[in-house]
């Protein structure tokens, strides 16, 4: 049985207390809420509709009209019945269906048939799920997505609609606003709170009849952005995907303030200006984002869409101290390193135990990667992808550097959350002219293995000025104050992109990495034996793909330090 540390017990107890407080708050607020809800008027109409800047495909409208619903990698044929009456077995598919983001494809079709189909599907949802509770459709994040999609695409749905449908939709929009207000007031946590507040702010701006709530929603948005967007533009969850999702909603919201002739909150402007350079920091040469903390497949068109709004064409941040990421860029080589502690437990549902992992790309080809995140429906695989072993870093005794909530009470109050892990990571960066040969040097140390093994992991990375050589040193050492470092085996893993081919050279003392573009790199590790083992890449557009990983094995007692180098051949 795994021993639960004091730090984990404290975290779990704090989460349990917060859960109890939210439950008590809901119970005590019920009488007052009933009176307030009874006297609250819903929206009468919509004054404006923010632009949905997500890319659209009018051919999808034909598939939807034919009853073929393709979401989250799964195709469902409704066979003439309502898709909202189908049990697909995929929570991701169902969340995409009832989130209504696909309305943009029907709007792009620009046909009366698509308009009528959109109205019919919304009416079906209102009739089948509009008054149900405790279903996927009424999870706060999903409800927020649906509310924003309905408002953004209201011209598609409401133009030419009869008065009865107009009233039903306005009534349902009012119910969404009330539901999200309750969720936020009850202490909704994580990124779900952020998107719920975004949806409320959009509704307050666009709906006639919610003017009295608009200022309150605006203040709530400012507070929430201040709490969740870090000074360097990262999100507190440390998940790169959140930044894309957030911009797709923040940018239209900024335009909506201008369309109503209202001053744009300065915090909204500031967040957009900070997030755009942060996205550039996390981007490889192939326009994909680094695979850290829940990042899966990058949609290149979506990333290009949000970056097109960067009027200043800002340069990537190199040292994102608050978000815990470092970028090294020289010649045509990019190295992106996770040099941060795990996020707070409330924001760690998709976070990974990848501290000190890194990724490397050359031009448009990624070489070293992390495994990435599979769809949520792939439960066991998704949990495996969160482990340290799924990242390009050192793994001590097959143990992750962060601890996830287990069974029992921990699982009930903190299921899937990180409840213990490295403290703020000590990081040193050097890239001045005094650095050796103009190299960029990063050194970072984490203490995630101290409680169980009495060992610190220190990683040093040095990228040459021309980008042709990356030197690394991984060291396990005893902390200044603490118990004796345990004798344990370790493995240093370097996961390869599926398009990279690897083979042994120099009598097994080196590995040749061949890129599909014709370039080649050689990997050495101080004469230590190198092994090639199977791995899996979970962030390919066509689904999981098998690949390989380089593994260096050792023991803390006999080889506490390993030096390795990656060289580009002439």
Give the number of C-alpha atoms closer than 13 A to the C-alpha of residue 296, restricted to the C-beta side.
16
pLDDT, residue 134, reads: 81
Residue 177, both tokens: 């606003």
What residue ranges in 38-196 does DSSP mark as E strands?
Answer: 45-46, 68-71, 74-77
Other Cβ atoms less than 10 A from the Cβ of 133: the count is 8
Please say if the pLDDT value at position 1 is more than 50.
Answer: no
pLDDT, residue 505, reads: 87
pLDDT in tens, 292-334: 999 998 888 899 999 988 876 778 899 999 999 999 999 999 9
- Contact between 258 and 264 under an 8 Å Cβ cutoff? The reply is yes
What is the pLDDT averaged over residues 542-546? Answer: 89
Task: Report how far apart, in Å, the C-alpha atoms of 253 and of each of 52, 202, 265, 501, 518 are.
Answer: 10, 6, 10, 45, 45
pLDDT, residue 408, reads: 57
3-state secondary structure at position 381: helix
Task: Answer yes or no: is 550 within a domain.
Answer: yes
The DSSP H or E segment spanning 496 is: strand 489-496
Other Cβ atoms less than 10 A from the Cβ of 81: the count is 10
Task: Answer yes or no: is 90 within a domain.
Answer: no
- Contact between 61 and 153 under an 8 Å Cβ cutoff? The reply is no
What is the pLDDT averaged over residues 172-177? Answer: 95
pLDDT, residue 409, reads: 54
pLDDT in tens, 231-282: 999 999 999 999 999 999 999 999 999 999 999 999 999 999 999 999 999 9
430, 464, 431, 460: which is closest to 444 by C-alpha?
460
Task: Answer yes or no: is 138 within a domain.
Answer: no
Residue 15, both tokens: 């989460």
Residue 211, both tokens: 């003017």
pLDDT in tens, 352-392: 999 999 999 999 999 999 999 987 666 678 899 999 999 99
pLDDT, residue 27, reads: 64
Task: Answer yes or no: is 31 within a domain.
Answer: no
Q: Give the Cα separation of 126 and 192 in Å (integer).
A: 22
Between these two residues, 362 and 17, which has the higher pLDDT value?
362
Task: Answer yes or no: is 188 within a domain.
Answer: no
Q: Give the Cα separation of 566 and 563 in Å (integer).
A: 11
* Domain coverage including residue 347: 325-568
Residues in contact with 521: Cβ distance below 8 Å, sequence separation at least 6, in sequence order: 362, 367, 512, 513, 515, 566, 567, 568, 569
Task: Answer yes or no: is 357 within a domain.
Answer: yes
Please say if the pLDDT value at position 215 is more than 70.
Answer: yes
Residue 388 — left, alpha, or beta (φ > 0 → left; ψ -120 to 50 → alpha)?
alpha
Please say if the pLDDT value at position 57 is more than 90.
Answer: yes
pLDDT, residue 214, reads: 92
Q: Give the Cα separation of 461 and 284 in Å (integer).
A: 18
Burial of 72 (0-12, 13-18, 19+ CB in 10 A): middle
Residue 442: phi, psi to the nearest 5?
-125, 130
What is the pLDDT averaged over residues 85-114? Answer: 91
Provide the pLDDT confidence category of residue 10 given band limits of 50, 70 and 90.
confident
Please say if the pLDDT value at position 152 is more than 80.
Answer: yes
Burial of 258 (0-12, 13-18, 19+ CB in 10 A): exposed
Query: What is the domain-level CATH number for residue 462?
Result: 2.70.98.70
Task: Answer yes or no: is 376 within a domain.
Answer: yes
pLDDT, residue 9, reads: 67
Task: Answer yes or no: is 286 within a domain.
Answer: no
What pTM did the predictor assign? 0.91
> Tell me, what DSSP letter sits at residue 85?
G
- Contact between 357 and 370 under an 8 Å Cβ cutoff? The reply is yes
What is the pLDDT averaged over residues 559-563? Answer: 96
pLDDT in tens, 470-502: 999 999 999 887 678 999 999 999 999 999 999
Provide the pLDDT confidence category of residue 434 given band limits of 50, 70 and 90.
low
> How many domains does the structure of the chain reveal?
1
What is the pLDDT averaged over residues 444-463? Answer: 95
pLDDT, residue 133, reads: 83
pLDDT, residue 281, reads: 96
Q: 426 forms bridges with which residues in the sheet?
A: 445
Q: Give the Cα separation of 127 and 133 in Å (integer).
A: 13
Between these two residues, 40 and 311, which has the higher pLDDT value?
311
pLDDT, residue 382, reads: 86
pLDDT, residue 3, reads: 58
pLDDT in tens, 120-143: 999 999 999 998 888 899 999 999
Burial of 163 (0-12, 13-18, 19+ CB in 10 A): exposed
The pLDDT mean for the chain works out to 90
Residue 426: phi, psi to the nearest 5?
-80, 120
Residue 470, both tokens: 């990356």
Rounded percentage of the chain residues whose pLDDT exceeds 70: 90
Residue 124, both tokens: 């079906």
């Amino acid at each position: 049985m795994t021993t639960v540390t004091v730090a984990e017990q404290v975290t779990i107890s704090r989460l349990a207390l917060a859960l109890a407080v939210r439950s008590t708050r809901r119970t005590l607020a019920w009488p007052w809420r009933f009176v307030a809800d009874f006297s609250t008027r819903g929206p009468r109409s919509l004054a404006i509709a923010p632009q949905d800047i997500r890319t659209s495909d009018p051919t999808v409208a034909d598939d939807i009209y034919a009853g073929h619903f393709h979401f989250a990698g799964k195709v469902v044929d409704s066979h003439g019945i309502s898709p909202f009456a189908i049990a697909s077995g995929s929570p991701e598919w169902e969340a995409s269906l009832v989130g209504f983001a696909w309305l943009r494809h029907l709007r792009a079709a620009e046909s009366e048939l698509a308009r009528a189909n959109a109205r019919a599907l919304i009416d079906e949802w209102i009739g089948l799920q509009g008054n149900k509770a405790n279903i996927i459709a009424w999870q706060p994040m999903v409800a927020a997505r649906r509310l924003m999609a309905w408002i953004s695409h209201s011209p598609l749905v409401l133009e030419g609609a009869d008065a009865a449908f107009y009233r039903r939709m306005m009534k349902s929009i009012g119910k969404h606003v009330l539901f999200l207000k309750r969720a936020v007031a009850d202490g909704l946590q994580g990124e779900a709170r952020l998107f719920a507040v975004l949806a409320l702010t959009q509704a307050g701006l666009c709906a006639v009849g919610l003017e009295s709530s608009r200022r309150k929603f605006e203040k709530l948005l400012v507070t929430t952005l201040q709490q969740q967007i870090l000074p360097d533009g990262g999100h507190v969850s440390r998940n790169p995907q959140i930044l894309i999702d957030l911009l797709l909603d923040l940018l239209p919201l900024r335009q909506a303030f201008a369309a109503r002739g209202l001053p744009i909150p300065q915090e909204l402007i500031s967040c957009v200006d900070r997030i755009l350079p942060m996205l550039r920091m996390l981007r490889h040469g192939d326009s994909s984002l680094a695979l850290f903390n829940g990042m899966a497949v990058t949609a290149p068109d979506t990333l290009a869409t949000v970056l097109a709004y960067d009027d200043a064409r800002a340069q990537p941040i190199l040292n994102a101290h608050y978000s815990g990421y470092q970028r090294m860029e020289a010649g045509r080589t990019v190295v992106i390193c996770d040099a941060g502690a795990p996020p707070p437990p409330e924001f760690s549902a998709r976070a990974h135990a990848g501290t000190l992992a890194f990724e490397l790309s050359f031009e448009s080809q990624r070489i070293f990667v992390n495994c990435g995140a599979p769809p949520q429906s792939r439960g066991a695989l998704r949990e495996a992808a969160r482990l340290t072993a799924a990242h390009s870093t050192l793994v001590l005794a097959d143990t992750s550097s962060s601890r996830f909530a287990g069974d029992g009470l921990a699982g009930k109050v903190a299921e899937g959350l990180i409840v213990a892990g490295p403290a703020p990571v000590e990081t040193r960066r050097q890239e001045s002219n005094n650095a050796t040969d103009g190299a960029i040097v990063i050194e970072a140390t984490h203490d995630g293995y101290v409680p169980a093994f009495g060992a610190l992991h220190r990683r040093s990375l040095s990228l040459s000025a021309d980008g042709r050589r990356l030197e690394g040193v991984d060291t396990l050492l005893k902390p200044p104050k603490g118990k004796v470092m345990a004798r344990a085996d370790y493995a240093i893993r370097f996961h390869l992109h599926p398009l990279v081919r690897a083979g042994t050279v120099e009598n097994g003392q080196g590995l040749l990495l061949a890129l599909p573009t014709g370039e080649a790199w050689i990997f050495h590790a101080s004469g230590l034996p190198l092994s090639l083992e199977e791995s899996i890449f979970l962030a390919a557009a066509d689904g999981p793909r098998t690949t390989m990983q380089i593994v260096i094995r050792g023991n803390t007692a006999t080889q506490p330090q390993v030096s390795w180098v990656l060289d580009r051949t002439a």
